[in-house]
Each structure stands twice: as structure tokens, then as C-alpha cells.
Amino acid sequence: MNQNELAARLTSIGDADDLTAFTDAFGDEYAEAAREIAEAALRGAGPTIYPWVLLVAGRFGDDHTVHLLGDWVVRATHPNERSEQLGSPDIAKLVAETFVAIDSIPAIAQIQHIRSHCGHHAFADAAARALRDLADARALRTWELEDQVVPTCGLEKKGSTAFKVGEREFTLHLNERLQPYLRDRETLESHTDLPDGADPQEVKRWALVRANIEDTVPYQARRIEQALVTQMRWRQKHWIEYLLHHPLMGYLAERVVWGAYSSTGGLRATFRVEEGGTFIGPDEDDVELDEEWLIGVVHPSQIGEEDLNLWGQQLSDYGVVTLCPQLDRPILKVPKDERKSHGATIGVSVPNHFALPWLVQRGWQTESADRWYSEISKEFRTVDTLVHFRASANDDPIEITDVGFRRFLGYPKTDFQLRDVDPVVYSEVLSELKRLQDDWESSK
């Protein structure tokens, strides 16, 4: 079969069954040629794309295909380029399934990028669902999968990544804005670039490492903030493996005040990670962790006033800027006259096209309740709470007036009275939804 005949055969593929028939007939005999044809179609595609391109890309694609498809998503979902095809969730679902089919770390990274950056709700939602499907296939929770696929960004073991210029050596660090910079190992002077005379290969390596870090850090910083919001807990050995000892996440771990918790949820200690890897508490004494304790991002409402003041002073003294707003987060409490209510009253009105991607990027899930409404929810598994509200399924603004809090792991699966809602959950949910309104107002 020549190139033209192969192209004609590929363009006739309309669904997964057609693709199966093709692979049953030819196996991987034309895999490389099929991938090249699909990639050529991706490079030339406008905002409309044919399903056969995605089906073939998913079956025969590699990491280069992932890059091309990611570029197409950026082009196609740009507000000035969107076609009627993108109004259907089917094409977004097929794009996500293409990345899932390739199933590499770069493919998962693209899914994460779409979920966190794409302003098109159908694509952001399909990406979120794809992450859950990938995690389910591995018998993992989504956050466990994401822990395991954080890219190293070309870094070596934390603290050992270095660039040489003649006899001089420069080590990599992150500044208070989480931007990479270089420090002369001997003089300790900081540099944004390698000095003149550096080997071109070292210059190229530094440029690639810097670009990878700048692409990766914002998403990982948001993940850490969501771990605070949802009170996610790591088993200590997993926290050490996937965060503390990870070449990139190890740097981010130094920008967090951590909490050590008992298996029943009680806070046993707070600490931060020093550059050398030791753990120190609010009084700057070393902290020893019991191996049974769980690790999480501590919320200010869980810390006593004295320790909160000590932490504020310590962070200020050492010039440590936390990865996200942490100890100064607003703490909202249930009003006395609403303590027996079964839902929180809040006034938020934001257009669907802005609100839905914003919510998905922060871990909210959307499910169609009927043709008129969608159910929007967020899980707080550590405290067995599902936060939920309804939103119009059409193009009307999302009007959030009543927010419910219910048990979803244990029984009975009924809404809590507000007095029984975990204080962190109540504070973070209301703060987040109010921030949605503020972000919309500031975007106008």
C-alpha cells in the first residue's frame, strides 16, 4: 500500500471500530507512516479537526504527537479561533482519550495542563475526567497518580543540579517567585543566566531546564494549595519519596509549613523543611516525626495563636515566602444564626464560560443532573464531606445561592448542619467561591 492509499484508508476511519478493523488487518506494519500522516494533519489543522486524526494519533502516536496535539488544543480553544465543533463535548472527550491512549508522562502532563489552563469548559472537564480514568486504571486516586508523574524538568537529585563554565560551577535555586536562577558555588553570587564563555551545550541545557521549571511549577503550586484546601494527607514514606526527595518538588516542599497528623486526624506537630533537609518547628528546634504520622499542608485555623505568631516571625526572619497564601489565609466561621442550617447562603453570579473552567481547575466536578441543571461538587475525603450546589446548564450566569455539605463515604449520606461541618472545609469553600466572583469582576 503506497502513501496515498494509506492516507485514503486512514481518512475513512470514523470511529474506534474502524480503527480496530485497520489494526486487525495490518497490525503495526504501517504504524510509523500512519503516525506521520496524523501528525501532518495536526500541524495543518485549524479549529476544526477530523476524528480520524485523533483516533490514529491515539493508536500510533508518541511524545512528539503529544506535543503537536497540545499545540492544536491551544490554537483551537483560543477565543478568536473557536469553531462550532468545539461546542460539542464529544470532540473534547476524543482529544482527552487520545492522550489517555498514548499514556506517557508527557501525555499526562498535557492533560494536566489542559485541566489547569484551558479556558474552554468542555476541554477542561474532559481532561479532569481523563485524569480520573487514568488513576482508576492504576487503582490510584487522582492525586496519587499526579504525585507519581511530576516531571523532573531535567533536574538531578535535589541540590546537585549544576552547570559548569570553565572552572566555575553554578547551582540551581528558585527565588521567592519560584523562578529558577543560578548561584556561583564559590562566590554565592546569583545569576539569571550562565556567564559569557559557557559551552553551547550547557547554555542549551540551562535554557531547557528553566523553561521546563517555568511550565511545571505553577501547576504543582496549585496542587499543593488544593492539598491545603481539601486537607489531603500523605503517608510519610510517600511524602518523602514523591515530594521531599523529588528533584523539583523538594524545592517546593521548602516553601510550605507542614503539619504532622495522627491517624485520627489530630495535629501532632508543625514544621518546615530547611534547605539541608532537616525539619524545624516554630521555635526553630529540630522536629522528629513519628513514622506513623501523616503529613499535610497545615491550615492556620489548626494552629494556636502562639505558634502562628512564631511561624510568622520565623518566615519573615528567614525571608521564606510560602508556596501559596497559607498562614495568612482568611478564616471564615459559621454565623451563629446559621449554625443549624443545612446549607450556606452565598451570593455568586458568574457567567458559565468563566466559572466552569475556573472551578474545574480547582478540583470541582460537574455532572449533568437534567437538561436544565448541572450538579457541581468537590470532595474532601479526609473529613468525609462532599460540597455541592446546582448550576444552570445553559448559557445563563451561574447563580450560586445555596451550598450543601454532606457525608459521601459513610452513612447516612445526608447534608450536615453547618455546625457539624469541618471548620476548614467551611472556610475554604466559601473563600474559594467568593474568590471566583472577585476573579470574574477583575477580569472584565
Question: Higher-confidence residue: 74 or 230?
Answer: 230
pLDDT digits (tens, 9 = 90+) for 134-155: 999 999 999 999 999 998 888 8
Mean pLDDT (the chain, rounded): 90
Which band of pLDDT confidence, cut at 50, 70 and 90, is reported for residue 82?
Answer: low
Alpha-carbon gap, residue 272 to 281, rounded angstroms:
7
Least confident of 14-28, 69-83, 153-167: 69-83
pLDDT digits (tens, 9 = 90+) for 181-202: 999 999 999 999 998 888 999 9
What pLDDT shows up at residue 81? 59
CATH number of 162-221: 2.20.70
Q: How confident is the model over 81-106, as a mean pLDDT?
A: 79
Question: Higher-confidence residue: 427 or 28?
Answer: 427
What pLDDT shows up at residue 83? 56
pLDDT digits (tens, 9 = 90+) for 358-367: 998 899 988 8
- Residue 84: pLDDT over 60: no
pLDDT digits (tens, 9 = 90+) for 2-52: 888 888 889 899 888 989 898 888 888 888 999 999 999 998 877 788 899
* Residue among 93, 20, 110, 106 at smallest CA distance from 51: 93
405 and 413 Cβ atoms separated by less than 8 Å: no
Architecture of the structural domain at 336-443: 2-Layer Sandwich (3.30)
- Residue 276: pLDDT over 90: no
C-alpha cell at 230: 481539601
To the nearest whole percent, how much of the chain has pLDDT over 70?
95
What pLDDT shows up at residue 74? 86
- Buried b vs exposed e over 14-23: b needs ≥16 C-beta within 10 Å? eeeebbeebb
To the nearest whole percent, how much of the chain has pLDDT over 90?
58
What pLDDT shows up at residue 343? 92
Question: Higher-confidence residue: 104 or 370?
Answer: 104
The SS3 of residue 135 is helix
Helices then strands, counting H and E runs in the chain, come out as 15, 14
Q: How confident is the model over 56-65, as a mean pLDDT?
A: 92
Termini Cα distance of the chain = 55
